[in-house]
Amino acid sequence: MDATLALLKGKVDDATVGHLERIWRHGVPNTCNVEATEKNFQAYFEYGNHSTLTENPEVAYRTLLKDDKRGYCLVFDPRIAPFILNAHFTPNGLVNPNHPTKEARPIFDSTFRPNPSCYAINDWTSKNTEPPLFFGPAFGKFLAFLYNLRVTYCDEEIYCGDDDISGAFRHQKYHPNVVAMHSYRVDKYVAVATGTTFGDGPSPPNFEPVAWGRRQLARYLWNQPDTIQRAAVHLPAIELVQYTQ
3-state secondary structure 62-83: HHHHHHHHCCCEEEECHHHHHH
Whether pLDDT at 206 is above 80:
yes
The fraction of the chain above a pLDDT of 70, given in percent, is 99
Nearest to 131 by CA among 213, 73, 193: 213
Whether pLDDT at 138 is above 90:
no
The Cα 108–Cα 89 span in angstroms is: 10
Mean pLDDT of 173-196: 96
Q: Which residues of 9-32 are buried (b: 16+ CB within 10 A; e: fewer)?
A: eeebeeebbebbbbbbeebbbbeb
User: pLDDT tens across 54-73, in order?
Assistant: 999 999 999 999 999 999 99
Whether pLDDT at 46 is above 70:
yes
Prior bond of 29 cis (ω within 30°) = yes
- Helix or strand run (H / E) with residue 149: helix 138-152
The Cα 14–Cα 8 span in angstroms is: 9
Q: Which residues of 128-162 are buried (b: 16+ CB within 10 A; e: fewer)?
A: eebbeeeeeeeeeeeeeeeeeeeeeeeeeeeeeee
pLDDT at residue 103, as a whole number: 86
Mean pLDDT of 7-25: 96
The answer, as to whether pTM is greater than 0.75, is yes
CA distances from 93 to 127, 169, 203 (A): 24, 18, 18
Residue 35, Ramachandran bin (φ over 0: left; ψ between -120 and 50: alpha; else beta): beta
Q: pLDDT band for position 245 (50/70/90)?
A: low
Residue 214 has, within 13 A of its CA and on its CB side, a CA count of 9
Q: pLDDT band for position 228 (50/70/90)?
A: confident
User: pLDDT tens across 85-114, in order?
Assistant: 999 999 999 999 888 888 888 999 999 999
